[in-house]
Amino acid sequence: MPDDEVDRGRTFGAVARAYDDHRPAYPGAAVDVALAGTPARARVLDLGAGTGKLTRLLAARGLDVVAVEPDPAMLAVLRERSPGVEARTGSAERIPLPDGHVDAVLVGQALHWFDLDRAGPEMARVLRPGGLLAGLWNGGDDDVAWVRELGGLTVRGRRVPDDPAGGGDATPHPGAPWFVDDTEDRVTWSRPTTVDEHLADLATHSWALLGTPADRDAVFAALRDFLTGRVADAGGGFTLPMRTVVRRSRRL
């Protein structure tokens, strides 16, 4: 992975609480797709767990969850807001678990940050044979015309491009000799939100964190004008069509 991508993946700790407060959770239907075929009491690794957005959903299902996250600020929020969950410092390239320890590895909004040449064999190592690797990515449903238009406004005029898959596009999984059956599903859903909340969410994205204040303010002003003029009600509320991409493969 190029150094600039690694740096982008380490920007979120500075806004860890805002990240947890404003980023969307994952819909239950997408988590169902991700976990399909796993045992009812599966041992699951949430890898690159961030502040625990996915961790908490897995724990609420009664699964045996261990969360692994490299950023100390993100991990501190995870431990604070996910009491009772085993949480460890580590990375996808050096997972602090023994061989064959988990039935599934789930990765929420993070697989695109991994060095897959190193992370692929590591994820395979901690999975039991036949175990599941699933990545999940939230994003606006760009099958909806105004959502596509809104997305276009987020890139117009700014100098920091999107990260490799941060806009919600799935990263292909490592293949043989580690994994097979790489498949992709999409779950559509709706997120009730407000203009201010949507901008607070976007403020935790790497392009906003790395951009200049002037660039960020100009993009946010254009987004606010669009949303208040075209979509939001008098109180600033609107419903954002969403889709979660779920990519799954199986350990050989």
The answer to whether 244 and 136 have CB atoms below 8 angstroms apart is yes
The answer to whether 132 and 250 have CB atoms below 8 angstroms apart is yes
How many angstroms separate the CA atoms of 215 and 143, rounded? 27
Q: What is the pLDDT of residues 175-233, one digit of tens each?
A: 999 999 999 999 999 999 999 999 999 999 988 998 899 999 999 999 999 999 999 99
If we measure between CA atoms, which residue out of 50, 51, 34 comes closest to residue 42? 34
Q: For position 59, what pLDDT does the model report?
A: 97
Q: What is the pLDDT of residues 166-182, one digit of tens each?
A: 556 788 999 999 999 99
DSSP-derived secondary structure for 13-42 = GGGHHHHHHHS----HHHHHHHHTTS-TT-
The answer to whether 250 and 34 have CB atoms below 8 angstroms apart is no
Q: Residue ranges of the chain with pLDDT lower than 70?
A: 1-10, 157, 160-168
Q: For position 1, what pLDDT does the model report?
A: 37
Q: For position 7, what pLDDT does the model report?
A: 54
Instruction: List the beta strands (DSSP E) in the chain.
Output: 43-47, 64-69, 86-89, 102-108, 127-140, 179-194, 237-251
Crossing angle for the helix pair 213-230 and 195-202, nearest 10 degrees? 150
Helix (H, G, I), strand (E, B) or coil at 157: coil
> What would be the CATH architecture of the domain defined by 3-141+164-192+244-251?
3-Layer(aba) Sandwich (3.40)
How many angstroms separate the CA atoms of 26 and 106, rounded? 12
Q: For position 33, what pLDDT does the model report?
A: 98
Q: For position 130, what pLDDT does the model report?
A: 96
Domain limits of the chain?
3-141+164-192+244-251
Q: For position 5, what pLDDT does the model report?
A: 43
Q: For position 173, what pLDDT does the model report?
A: 94
